[in-house]
């Protein structure tokens, strides 16, 4: 196993960041609160992660591969 930055690792970082940011913007108790509608984005990211676990289809990974990022062994999308 290498420490190379792969699509799998990038997707985990991106999804985690999107969830944390959308929660910060969508929860009323947050000092960064803007609107509760940001919670829909949180739900979208979670639903996408859930479906990709079953279907192995991940649009974010397809985009990253097209941009030249290295695919991890056993990556979500087909090779």
Query: Tens digit of pLDDT for each residue in 9-55?
Result: 999 999 999 999 999 999 999 999 999 999 999 999 999 999 999 99
Better-predicted residue by pLDDT, 76 or 38: 38
Q: pTM higher than 0.75, yes or no?
A: yes
Report yes or no on 16 lying in a domain. no
Number of domains the chain is built from:
1
Tokens 């979500």 label which residue? 76
**Structural domain contains residue 78:** no
Q: Which domain holds residue 53?
A: 28-67
Three-state SS for 33?
A: coil
Q: Is residue 40 part of a domain?
A: yes
Q: Per the domain annotation, does 45 fall within a domain? A: yes
Helix (H, G, I), strand (E, B) or coil at 24: helix
Please report the pLDDT score of residue 77 as a whole number. 58
């Amino acid at each position: 196993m290498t420490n190379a930055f792969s699509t799998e690792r990038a997707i985990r970082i991106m999804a985690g960041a999107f969830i944390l940011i959308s929660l910060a913007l969508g929860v009323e108790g947050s000092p960064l609160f803007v609107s509760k509608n940001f919670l829909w984005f949180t739900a979208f990211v979670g639903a996408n992660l859930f479906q990709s676990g079953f279907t192995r289809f991940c649009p974010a990974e397809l985009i990253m591969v097209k941009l030249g990022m290295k695919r991890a062994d056993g990556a979500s999308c087909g090779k």
